[in-house]
Structure 1
Amino acid sequence: MNKPDPHTLFILGALDPEMREIARVLGVHRYAVAWAATGGQKCNSSSAYDADSALQMVQGRWRNQLILPRQPVVFVECAVARHAPVLRIDHHHPGDAGFDCRPHDFLRGSSLGQLLHLLGLEPDDTQRLLAAADHCLTSAYQGECPGVDPDELLFLRASWQAKMSSRPFGVVVSSILDAARLVRERYDALEGAALFLDPTLMVPDLPEGAARAGRPVRYRSMEPGGQVKEMLKGASAEMISSFMESHHALGRRVYGNPYRGYAGAYLN
């Protein structure tokens, strides 16, 4: 696809560090940005592909975004009912441009990398970190993404977690490193993962710590509304596929990507 028409509307999915940078880049290049919404509320990661509308921020307040019938629209990690995009920027589902990209090809795999390529831009150092973290966090922490320093990645990720959780930066770094130590200690070679299966005893920063440790982790968490979700992260493609198939056989709602090393299943 050529560089987007100046009137293109980009509709973005759930907010995370990568999506925040995508929105910033689009704003710098004067493209219209809206956020996927459901029932008048901005979507989160579990609802971004079931959006029924879009919202825009106007003078600090959310407003409905009008999508004109012939306006070119690009979906970034989302989908809005009754609207057909001219392009999807994504890496979550089979058929997405970045779905099967390996760690060494993280820029082509990540949504941020796809956007930068679309706009004819070269990534800076921070953008490389953001793209690698979002596409393949465990591999990035293990030095498998060219040009990505694992210690710089830890600094970036801890800074974001500190901002989002209102915790001091040093506390977050210590928490991540403590979680990494615990994952190494509890790694079960027979299971091929460190197990944390009691959702009432969640370890702070466990997924981040496991990625830093470079060990697969299988854990359960309590979701809003009382749902229990089981996750497997940082594992091989074969382990991820087996995890997804076993839960799917039990009739559970499953998602994941073997190429990116993660999967999840809702147990109830």
Structure 2
Amino acid sequence: MLDKQTRFILGAQDPEMREIERVVESAGFARAHAARGGRRCNPQTAYAADEVVLVGRDAVPRAVLLPPKTPTVFVECRLRGFDPVTTVDHHHPGDPGWGVPPERFLDGSSLGQVLRLLEREADETQRLLAASDHCLTAAYQGRCPGVDPHELLFLRASWQAKMSGRTLSDVIEGILQAAKQVRRHHDSEFGESRFLDPTQMPSDLPEGAAYAGMPVRYRALLPEGVLKEMYKGGTPEAVEAFMDEHRQAGREVYGNPYRGYAGAYWPGTA
């Protein structure tokens, strides 16, 4: 059991983290958001946080005082100067969920780990969120016990529609069309579908590739001008090969071979 004085420090926002925050609040625990330079962290800065904030409904980050001896749980983040009571994560070697297979997705996902800490059982929606975050391609292919791929598609498309302002039917159609393009572009020599021109990337490509159950490599130009190449849906060996390729080229690399994804950033493109 966690001490009620324990505070959860939450990393970058996504559907799973949003649900983690709701669960933590409903269990009566305080929470704060990892921040850097006064702004809530994104996936790139979450492991180099230097302060904490609380972002309200108005999206304004407000500084939070965190006394040095406060017991903390880090959820997909790190905060300079603090040693957590425990860490909830699945992104890096040594994390509790690092090498957990799809068949045990609740043990691997951050949401599942938080539920276990709070001694709660996952409901149907939480199982869908946990599976989609921990191993999306495997979940779409029916490898996560108790997770219906059709319900997963509806949940994921609903979230994307809400965030993008598109209609639900438009998002679902986009995912299905992207899946068709992934199948058409499959390169048997490389064992993957390639979309290397950021200006020609189909909408909903990552989701469509996961739905198709096929490895995909694609590039995107981020808002800050950084070129990023991503690989998703591959075997552990294929993910390792992707990461080694970019490390040898001197690029910043991240990924988890056991979860089937990796990415790399081109230096000097900002």
Q: What is the TM-score of this pair, normalised by structure 2?
A: 0.96
Shift of 1:58: 5.5
Matched residue, 2:6: 8
Instruction: Report what 2:146 is aligned to.
Output: 147
Alignment partner of 1:49 is 2:47: yes
The answer as to 2:30 corresponding to 1:32 is yes
Quote how far apart the aligned CAs of 1:68 are. Answer: 1.0
User: How many angstroms does 1:252 deviate by?
Assistant: 0.8
User: Any conservation in 1 of the 2:7–2:70 contact (CA below 8 Å)?
Assistant: yes
| Map of 1:124 onto structure 2 | 123
Q: State the shift of 1:59 in Å.
A: 7.4
> 2:201 matched to which residue of 1?
202
SS of the aligned residue for 2:199 comes to: coil
Residue 62 of structure 1 deviates from its aligned partner by 2.8
Change beyond 3 A, Cα 1:33–1:179: same
Q: Structure 1 residue 5: deviation in Å?
A: 0.7
Q: Deviations over 1:214-248 (max 9, x none)?
A: 00000011012221111110000000001101110
Offset of residue 77 of structure 1: 0.2
Give SS of 1:174's match.
Answer: helix
1:37 aligned counterpart, secondary structure: strand
Q: CA deviation at 1:57?
A: 3.7
1:238 corresponds to 2:237 = yes
- CA separation in 2, counterparts of 1:47 and 1:129? 27
Structure 1 residue 267 displacement after superposition: 2.4
Q: Give the Å deviation of 1:193.
A: 0.5
Tell me, in whole angstroms, the C-alpha distance in 2 between the residues paired with 1:247 and 1:15: 27
Relative to the length of structure 1, the TM-score reads: 0.97
Q: Which amino acid aligns with 1:39?
A: G
**1:253 aligned partner, one-letter code:** E
* Deviation readout 1:10-38 (Å, 9 max, x if unpaired): 01011111000000001111110111111
**Which aligned segments of 4 or more residues in structure 1 are displaced greater than 3 angstroms?**
57-61
1:200 is paired with a residue of what secondary structure?
A: helix
Deviations for 1:172-191, whole angstroms, at most 9, x for unmatched residues? 11111110111011111111
Gaps of 5+ in 1: none
Deviations 1:35-54 (A, max 9, x none): 11111011111111111111
The percentage of aligned residue pairs carrying the same residue is 58
Q: Which amino acid aligns with 1:216?
A: P
Separation of aligned partners in 2, 1:190 and 1:59:
49
Q: Secondary structure at the match of 1:69?
A: coil
For the Cα contact (< 8 Å) 2:38–2:61, is it kept in 1? no
Report the counterpart of residue 187 of structure 1 in structure 2.
186
Cα gap change, 1:197 to 1:116, in 2 (>3 Å):
same
Look up the match of 2:227. Answer: 228
**Pairwise CA RMSD of aligned residues?**
1.1
